[in-house]
Homo-oligomer: A and B are copies of this chain.
């Protein structure tokens, strides 16, 4: 089969990325957070091809899994990789360090510090809970963990603390106030920990969080309908292209569904005001079309959450209008 050249050549469902919107998003972010002020998070797109375009504007990267670290390093993007997550076995990360890549690992407990040291990781950040009940030590415990890490022979580069309970708040004034509260906790911990890095943030607080000195953002590049509610300057670059397979009295059905869309943020929506989504099944979206559709028509679906949507697919197709200009492998999936 020859490589698809036009969106009509694609087997659906398929991820398509609008080049103009994507490039706008990268530029809009880099204007506010140039170079090392932003550390792109690859978990949102899981693609080294996309990351290479971010690497023109920024320096280090953020990863969520060991597999992402391995893949980024293997792709030549290993100058400064932060695994912003805890692991209990860092052996594979140590092997990446041995190849010459720089890997910094989040730690929040004596056990994860021991794992880092035993696995051959040399640099860590102390992960601090700033309000989201997830990983991260209590702020008052950060200093002692930093001491323990240094005693284990690790370089402590600073702190990280993700205000994940804040980034999705649609009320900007509330986001500002909540971010300040969260970052005061992180800065206090930083005072106890030391090091150069104060790493935090997300797409929803990229221009609000002026307390951290590097911001981790992922969703901005491709976007989704959840972040679109926040009135950010980023455009919807990613769609799931689908085909109408059935038209019935009152509704139509297209061939995207639960296996091509992350559903934790609820139903997707349809671009181009094509209609209202009723519900999703494994391989179907049933929707009320806003104007008559025919079997075979294409419909573009806007995912509600970009990260778990992309993780279902092996390729993103970069498009200029209806022309396919590149194929990006989603090569960082799995663990």
Q: Does A314 contact B (CB under 8 A)?
A: yes
A177 within 8 A of B: no
A294 to chain B, nearest CB (A): 7
Do B65 and A246 have beta carbons less than 8 Å apart? no
Is A251 positioned at the interface, with any CB of B under 8 Å from its CB?
yes
CB interface residues, A 211-260, toward B, < 8 Å: 243-251, 253, 255, 258-259
Known: A243-B88, A258-B262, A258-B307. A248 touches B280 (CB 8 A): no
B246 close to A136 (CB less than 8 A): yes
Given contacts A134-B284, A135-B245, A264-B280, A311 and B312 within 8 Å (CB-CB)? yes
The answer to whether A308 has its CB under 8 Å from any CB of chain B is yes
Q: Check B136–A85 contact: CB distance below 8 A.
A: no
CB neighbours (8 Å) of A245 from chain B are: 85-88, 112, 135
A50 contacts chain B at the CB level, 8 A cutoff = no
Q: Is the CB of B109 within 8 A of A246?
A: yes
Taking the closest CB of chain B, its distance from the CB of A136, in whole angstroms, is: 7
Contact flags A87-127 to B (C-beta < 8 A → 1, else 0): 11000000000000000000011011000000000000000
Contact of A138 (CB < 8 Å), options: B87, B248, B314: B248
Residues of B within 8 A of A259 (CB): 307-308, 311, 333
Residue of B111, B138, B247, B307 near A282 (CB, 8 A) is B307
**A271 interface residue (CB < 8 Å to B):** no
Query: Which residues of chain B have C-beta atoms less than 8 A from A164's C-beta?
Result: 281
- B262 x A108 contact (CB < 8 A): no
Q: A243 — which chain B residues lie within 8 A by C-beta?
A: 88
- With A263-B263, A282-B43 in contact, do A135 and B308 touch (Cβ < 8 Å)? no
> C-beta contact mask, A254-298 vs B, less than 8 Å → 1, else 0?
010011001110000000000000101111101000000011100
User: A295 touching B262 by the CB < 8 A rule?
Assistant: no
Chain B residues whose CB sits within 8 angstroms of the CB of A13 once the complex forms: 335
Once the chains bind, are A246 and B134 in contact (CB under 8 Å)? Answer: yes
- In this complex, what residue of B is CB-closest to A296? B88
Q: Which of A61-97 contact B (CB under 8 A)?
A: 64-66, 85-88
In the complex where A258-B262, A283-B85, A308-B259 touch, is A135 in contact with B253 (Cβ < 8 A)? yes
Give every chain B residue within 8 A of A109 (Cβ-Cβ). Answer: 246-247, 295
Beta-carbon contacts under 8 Å, A301-332 to B: 305, 307-308, 311-312, 314
On chain B, the residues within 8 Å of A136 by CB distance are: 246, 248
A129: interface (CB < 8 Å): yes
> 12 more A-B contacts (CB under 8 A) besides A85-B245, A88-B243, A134-B284?
A12-B335, A43-B283, A86-B245, A87-B245, A88-B296, A133-B278, A138-B248, A164-B281, A258-B305, A259-B307, A263-B308, A311-B312
A-B contact pairs, 9 of them (CB 8 A): A88-B243, A88-B296, A109-B246, A134-B286, A135-B246, A135-B248, A136-B246, A138-B249, A282-B308
Q: List 5 A-B pairs, minimum CB-CB distance, nearest first.
A: A111-B295, A263-B264, A135-B246, A86-B245, A258-B308
